[in-house]
Amino acid sequence: MSTLATIDGAALARVVAIFRDALRAHQEELNLLNVYPVPDGDTGTNMALTIESVCTEVGSATRMDDVCTALAHGSLMGARGNSGVILSQILRGLADTFTSLEAIGAPDVAAGLRRASDAAYQAVMRPVEGTILTVVRSAAEAAEAARDTGESTLESLLERTVAAAHDAVAHTPDLLPVLKEAGVVDAGGLGFTLLLDAFLHVVDGRPVPTPELVTAPAAVAAHQRDGDLSSLRYEVMYLLEGTDETMPAFKDTWGALGESIVIVGGEGLWNCHVHTNDIGAAIEAGIQAGRPREIRVTDLIEQVEEEQWVRAGNGKAAPAEHVETAVVAVAVGHGLSRLLRSVGVHEVVAGGQSMNPSTAQILEAVDRAPSEAVVVLPNNKNIVAVAEQVGALTDRDVGVVPTYAVVEALASLMVYDPDATLEVNAAAMADAASRVRAGEVTQAVRDSVADCGEIKEGDWIAITRDGICAATASAAEAAIALVDRLVGGDSELVTVLLGSDARPADTAKLREHLGLEHGHVEVEVHEGDQPLYPYLIGVE
């Protein structure tokens, strides 16, 4: 092929498509390299999903302004994880530089990379060198140096830029001790170099690097086994509709809540990412600043442990055995996920109260399930309607059992038969779930009034399907009030799922009360690890 002197809109669209294909090919390689700030193992996946959203937005566009608009909007809306959010800012910096041009020349690439680097650094509240930030900055500096010394062709400027970026990746362990200890380079930085490789491929046809066969280095495996993880367990992400005036206070609030904070966007829409232990406060800050939506919460520790399990099989999980009917459930919390899987669930979608997954996320889980027929357990009233949209979006047969709580799902799974048809399972599981009286204990976030009387912010409240039945000074008192409301003379089993904030002393009081006042029921207690709700209780 002939070497391009400039890049027009159609060629830029090809760069994006080639970058997507490269990230897909390198996805597992990047995942296995990822060890910072927590070894969540998903840098490749998050970058690939982010650029996938961009490609969807670009579609068949060939005009420069249309491609750049899609590049900026698609990357913001589709950003996943810390690496995806930073990548979105890099792409937005390039798009903002290129959008008014008819064609991109060598000086424009240098200007675009500088704007991309600045945007990436500005997006991160506490920039860390030895990451993708360092690599994009090194690329920008190399492009500017090439331009300033007279490199006038795209090919020559990109050659110097690509070489500098790969060199910067190779030196990331010198800047970041955790990388040197693990014996790996920065995953996000390596992923970014594929974008520059894609530019060079479109300009002169040279091949994009192929992925290496990578397994987790021994030091990485040891690093993970030793539990050297961030103390911040949850990744919280959402889109925030808010004015520029509210953002400084929002950033200050998040700055006190966690780490790996990335807040990008503008003109009323912001993509927000934080690692924190306080999911409720992270979401409440968004409510105070505007309107958060598309909230996603990931349990990073659970993700790490699952990645360890996969890697123990040489990087590959054994494919699930095909069944007549599979099950997808929604839940958040390491314990809940493990518990659901132990009783038959094939795919768990992270989500719950105040962190509802999208239809797309549930659809992805359905399409991964090892069957052409899938039961979905939403486990929250706000997710039922979302789950019911999935059937029209897939060739698989989907049945939604409208569970409003995880305890209802557990009861339904006691009658689940993987060898039975979807219709038989859906009917039996719905019947079993309907026989559960469910409730939950959580803490009031504001003053209110309910049938039980006045509620003050900070009170512990017991909630049934009929509403709030008690507001008390302790979680134990609320749990006791809840079981008294739910347990009847014909009850046989009480299931208690302990949240991440459940105190042993409170749980002991609840057990003692059940034994003294409701001695006729069997009691099962499981570690659920769910946030915000120290007690989820079901009575059958």
Residue pLDDT, tens place only, 451-508: 888 888 888 999 988 888 999 999 999 999 999 999 998 999 999 999 888 888 899 9
Q: Render pLDDT for 163-191 as a digit per residue (tens, 0 to 9).
A: 999 999 999 999 988 788 767 889 899 99
Question: Do 241 and 221 have their domain in common?
Answer: no
Q: Can you give the CATH number for the domain in which 29 is found?
A: 1.25.40.340
pLDDT above 60 (res 39): no
Q: Are strands 467-472 and 453-455 parallel, antiparallel or unpaired?
A: unpaired
Cβ-based neighbour number of residue 258 at 10 Å: 23
Question: Do 210 and 79 have their domain in common?
Answer: yes
Average pLDDT over the chain, rounded to an integer: 85
Question: Of the candidates 430, 384, 390, 391, which has an alpha carbon nearest to the alpha carbon of residue 409?
Answer: 430
Question: Do 339 and 286 have their domain in common?
Answer: no
Answer whether residue 3 is part of any domain.
Answer: no
Q: What's the rounded Cα separation, in Å, for the pair 346 and 416?
A: 12
pLDDT above 50 (res 216): no
Answer whether residue 313 is part of any domain.
Answer: no
Residue 227 is predicted with a pLDDT of 40
Q: Render pLDDT for 42-90 as a digit per residue (tens, 0 to 9).
A: 678 778 878 888 998 899 999 999 999 999 988 877 666 567 778 988 9
Q: What is the CA radius of gyration of the chain?
A: 25
Q: What's the rounded Cα separation, in Å, for the pair 378 and 190?
A: 37
Question: Do 381 and 495 have their domain in common?
Answer: no
Question: Do 101 and 239 have their domain in common?
Answer: no
Domain final residue pick, 414, 434, 454:
434
Phi, psi angles (nearest 5°) of residue 428: -65, -40
Q: Which of 114-123, 196-205, 344-353, 411-420 has the lowest average pLDDT? A: 344-353
Answer whether residue 308 is part of any domain.
Answer: no
Average pLDDT over residues 225-245: 71
Question: Do 278 and 136 have their domain in common?
Answer: no
Question: Do 243 and 212 have their domain in common?
Answer: no
Answer whether residue 280 is part of any domain.
Answer: yes
Residue 34 is predicted with a pLDDT of 57
Average pLDDT over residues 530-539: 89
Q: Render pLDDT for 495-522 as a digit per residue (tens, 0 to 9).
A: 999 988 888 889 999 999 999 999 999 9
Answer whether residue 4 is part of any domain.
Answer: no
Q: Are strands 373-377 and 326-331 parallel, antiparallel or unpaired?
A: parallel
The parent domain of residue 253 ranges over 234-303
Answer whether residue 75 is part of any domain.
Answer: yes
Question: Do 160 and 60 have their domain in common?
Answer: yes
Question: Do 351 and 371 have their domain in common?
Answer: yes
Question: Of the candidates 271, 262, 268, which has an alpha carbon nearest to the alpha carbon of residue 243?
Answer: 268
Domain final residue pick, 225, 258, 278:
225
Cβ-based neighbour number of residue 268 at 10 Å: 11
Answer whether residue 311 is part of any domain.
Answer: no
Please count the structural domains in the chain: 4
Q: Can you give the CATH number for the domain in which 338 is found?
A: 3.40.50.510
Answer whether residue 312 is part of any domain.
Answer: no
What sign does the dihedral 26-48-333-420 (CA atoms) show? Answer: negative
Average pLDDT over residues 288-303: 77
Whose structure tokens read 């006691």?
414
Question: Do 510 and 369 have their domain in common?
Answer: no
User: What SS3 string covers 466-521?
Assistant: CEEEEEECCHHHHHHHHHHHHCCCCCCEEEEEECCCCCHHHHHHHHHHHHHHCCCC
Confidence band of 304 (pLDDT split at 50, 70, 90): low
Q: What is the DSSP string of 99-135?
A: TT-SSB-HHHHHHHHHHHHHHHHHHBSS--SSSHHHH
235 token code pair: 């990744």
Question: Of the candidates 535, 499, 539, which has an alpha carbon nearest to the alpha carbon of residue 521?
Answer: 539
Question: Do 206 and 247 have their domain in common?
Answer: no
Q: What's the rounded Cα separation, in Å, for the pair 31 and 47?
A: 10
Q: Can you give the CATH number for the domain in which 289 is found?
A: 3.30.70
Domain final residue pick, 225, 248, 282:
225
- Distances in whole angstroms, Cα of residue 40 to Cα of each of 35, 187, 237, 506: 7, 12, 15, 32
Q: Can you give the CATH number for the domain in which 457 is found?
A: 3.30.1330
Question: Do 271 and 221 have their domain in common?
Answer: no
For 7, which DSSP code?
Answer: B
Q: Render pLDDT for 103-158 as a digit per residue (tens, 0 to 9).
A: 999 999 999 999 999 999 988 878 889 999 999 999 999 999 999 998 889 999 99
Average pLDDT over residues 373-394: 85
Residue 306 is predicted with a pLDDT of 52
